[in-house]
Structures are given as C-alpha cells and as structure tokens.
C-alpha cells in the first residue's frame, strides 16, 4: 500500500519505518525542514533500539520517503496517519492544536477519497473534530471527497518500540465501517501472522482504550510505590511483597516494581488528560488523581533519604548519579525523576557527577542548562571520584552488575541509594555498604 504519516517524532517515525519494512511505500511528512533534511542524511532525532537501521535501510531502498510537502506525500496514498504530538496543556488537558492543524492541511491538500487514521493519543471525541476540520477545508475548496476518520492508537514502549510494532500484543481499530476495517486489517496482517491480534470497536472506545491502558499501568506503579512507603514504616521489604503478590495469576509481575516514580511522554500526560476529560464530563476521578499525586511525591523519596542521612544542608557534598532518562533504552527525559532529584539536591547545596549512556546531551541542552552544580561524566566509574554517595536513578543494563570493588576504590563513602531496587541488600551490607532502597528501612 501507499501510506502517508504526518509527524516524524517518536510514534510517526517508528510507524513509517515499520510499515515500509513490510514493503509499503511510506511518505513521512513533517513541517520541520531541518528534521527532514537530517532524516534524509540518516540522522535520527531520537534514540530507539533498531530504529536507525530500519530507517536507513528503507530510505535507501526507496520504500521510506521524507518530505515537508504534504501534497507530495498524500497525492497517491490510500491511508494517511496522523502521528503528531499531543502535549499537556496548561490545565492538564491534551493540546490538540497539532492534530487539528494536520487535519486542516489534509483538507487543503487531498484530491481523492482517503482514510485518515488517528495514531496520536487523543481524547474521546477527537476523530469527530478531525473529520469536521477536514470537511470544513473541503467546503472552502468546493470539493467533495469521501473522508473516513479511524482511531488506531499506538501501544509502543519506549526502548522497545520497533519490537512492539513488529510483534504487537493487539491492534485496536476503531471504526464502524466494515470495508475500512478490512483495509486496515490487510495493512497490519504482516505483523499478526502467527496470531489473531485485531480488536475491533467503535471510534470512541478505541480512543478511550489508549488512555485507559496507560492509566492502568501508571496505577500499578503508584500502587506499588504506596505499598513500598508503607513497608518502610512497618518493617516489611517491598521486594518480598512483590514476589508474594505477583505470583497470584490474577495480578502478575508486570509493572509491580517500586521505585522513584514514573516519567516519560505518556503516563504523566495521559493520566492528566484522562482526569481532565472526566472532570469536563462532570465526574471526579479520585483514583486517577491519587495516582498522579503519589507519583509526584515518589520523585522526592530519594532526596528525602539523602537528607535524612546527610542533613538538610548538602553544601560541600558531591553525589554520583547513574541514570537520567526516565527509563532504560531511551534518551527521553520528559517528566523523568532524575530532573526532580538533581534539582532538589543542588538547591540544597550539593554538587552532582552524573552519567547516563544516552541522555547527557539532551540534559545539558534542555534540562540543566543553567545549573552549574552538575558535571557530566563520560564513564560511570569516573562519576564516583570524590563522591560522598552513589544514587541509582535509571536501571540501565550496565548498572545491574557493576564492579563493586571498583566502586569501593573510587567513592569516598560506601553509601548507595538505590532508586530502582536493583541490588541485593544482604550482599552489599556484607561488603560494608550503607544501602538505602525503596520500600525497606533497616532502622
């Protein structure tokens, strides 16, 4: 098939690359000329395992094309995906300006019937707004084409997005038109050959499914962090509790890890947007509001542990921090706990030596541009030099089994604050470490 994808961010680029890998001709369209020029040169704007190779291969073989000209991109295509950002507005709602701007441009550009697919995460009712916007532009041009708007939400995990697209758990299609459903099933069939993965529903239910999925996962994280905080106060260990409840087949182990809070481009934004949607329809979503507030507080837990150990005035102290991105295998620092942790520590006078395998340039450019108390170190062990303690924030694989003898040689004090509960408490204590984890207190 011939496909257009509007937006070359995280979702749009993965979508375009993966569809092109299956032999489709895909036009990726973006208004950012610099981004398009870089993509043509093989410069990928995000870090995502496997994506660069996929983009380069399919651009070179002609299946994947990049342009700033929507008319060129949409001229002979059957399906147009909208995959632009929906950032959080000032009031917490999803900002649809980019989605509706894309819809407006589609209305100005098309010269034939078309299927428009909302891939962006959007509130319930957005498909109707998109269709109305497109039809308004067609009316201004005095032309009449059959425009069908479908919801097809993405369920991609940062750090595993290519794998998730190639081997989806499910493909949700929101449409009431049997013919369009069959066309989309044909498009996705190469990704679902080993198992029926299609979930068909109406448009509004498909839009709601994406928000409900992310809200459910965020709820599990905040729930475990709440239980972890209780464990610390009653003398229990959250790691044992997780094993005990995760072994229940009704619950399972996924997203049951306590830590220093969730971040990223999806969970914080989508929980807030769902709260706003509920409130705008006269409902008070008490659980969702608590999920959000627990998460905000959880980002401060490591800081509180540091203050409890070293005092409120951290002047003269240096802390090594391993990890900046909100999760491993991505360079995304949006809403990352590391931002809160580092800013609060430096506000109290601390110096920071930080290392992350992917996010340091982004951190320097966007998040800590004016913070002169941070040194960005190119090696995780070098970050320990003259540090009074090590703080683990992101559970990158290279941090899972570090050389503790090397840590002992480099660090001033054998003090480790583990924000992701990666290490064995008993082993570290035998090595003489003061070990502080989430969800357990030795005092």
Name the residues annotated as catalytic.
266
For 141, residues 6+ apart whose C-beta sits below 8 A from its C-beta are: 107, 108
CA distance 272 to 88: 8
Running DSSP on this structure, what letter comes out for residue 297?
H
Which stretches within 45-96 are classed as H helix? 51-60, 70-74
Q: What does each C-alpha distance from 175 to 99, 200, 405, 406 come to in angstroms?
A: 19, 7, 59, 58
CA distance 332 to 325: 5
For 40, residues 6+ apart whose C-beta sits below 8 A from its C-beta are: 59, 66
Question: Which segments of 30-167 are extended strands (E)?
Answer: 64-67, 79-82, 114-118, 147-151
For 432, residues 6+ apart whose C-beta sits below 8 A from its C-beta are: 414
Burial state string for 304-327 with b = 16 or more CB within 10 A and e = fewer than 16: ebbbeebeeebeebbbbbbbbbbb
Name the residue among 255, 330, 235 with its Cα closest to residue 295: 255
Positive or negative: CA dihedral 208, 214, 217, 219: negative
């Amino acid at each position: 098939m011939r496909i257009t994808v509007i937006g070359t961010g995280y979702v749009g680029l993965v979508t375009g690359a993966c569809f092109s890998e299956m032999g489709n001709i895909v036009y990726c369209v973006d208004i950012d000329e610099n981004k398009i020029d870089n993509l043509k040169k093989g410069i990928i704007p995000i870090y995502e395992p496997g994506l660069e190779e996929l983009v380069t291969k399919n651009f070179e073989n002609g299946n994947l094309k990049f342009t700033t000209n929507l008319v060129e991109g949409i001229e002979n295509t059957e399906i147009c995906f909208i995959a632009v950002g929906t950032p959080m507005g000032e009031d917490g709602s999803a900002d649809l300006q980019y989605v509706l701007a894309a819809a407006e441009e589609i209305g100005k550009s098309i010269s034939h019937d078309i299927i428009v697919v909302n891939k962006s995460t959007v509130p319930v009712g957005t498909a109707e707004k998109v269709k109305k916007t497109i039809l308004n532009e067609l009316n201004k041009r005095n032309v009449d084409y059959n425009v069908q708007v479908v919801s097809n939400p993405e369920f991609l995990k940062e750090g595993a997005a290519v794998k998730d697209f190639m081997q989806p758990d499910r493909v949700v299609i929101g449409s009431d038109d049997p013919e369009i459903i069959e066309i989309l099933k044909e498009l996705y069939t190469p990704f679902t050959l080993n198992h029926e993965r299609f979930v068909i529903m109406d448009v509004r239910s498909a839009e709601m499914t994406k928000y409900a999925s992310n809200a459910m996962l965020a709820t599990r994280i905040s729930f475990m962090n709440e239980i972890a905080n209780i464990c610390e106060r009653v003398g229990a260990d959250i790691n044992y509790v997780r094993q005990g409840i995760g072994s229940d087949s009704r619950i399972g182990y996924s997203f049951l890890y306590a830590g220093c809070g969730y971040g990223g481009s999806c969970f914080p934004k989508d929980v807030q947007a769902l709260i706003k949607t509920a409130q705008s329809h006269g409902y008070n979503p008490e659980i969702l509001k608590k999920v959000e507030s627990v998460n905000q507080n959880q980002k401060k837990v490591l800081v509180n542990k540091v203050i409890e150990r070293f005092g409120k005035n951290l002047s003269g102290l240096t802390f090594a921090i391993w990890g900046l991105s909100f999760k491993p295998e991505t360079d995304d620092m949006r809403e990352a706990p590391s931002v809160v942790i580092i800013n609060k520590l430096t506000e109290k006078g601390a110096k920071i030596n930080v290392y992350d395998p992917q996010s340091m340039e982004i951190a320097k450019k966007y998040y800590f541009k004016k913070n002169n108390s941070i040194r960005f170190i190119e090696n995780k062990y070098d970050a320990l030099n003259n540090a009074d303690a090590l703080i683990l924030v992101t559970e990158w694989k290279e941090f899972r089994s570090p050389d503790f003898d090397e840590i002992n040689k480099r660090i001033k004090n054998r003090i480790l604050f583990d924000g992701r509960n990666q290490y064995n408490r008993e082993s570290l204590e035998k090595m003489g470490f003061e070990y502080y984890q989430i969800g357990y207190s030795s005092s």
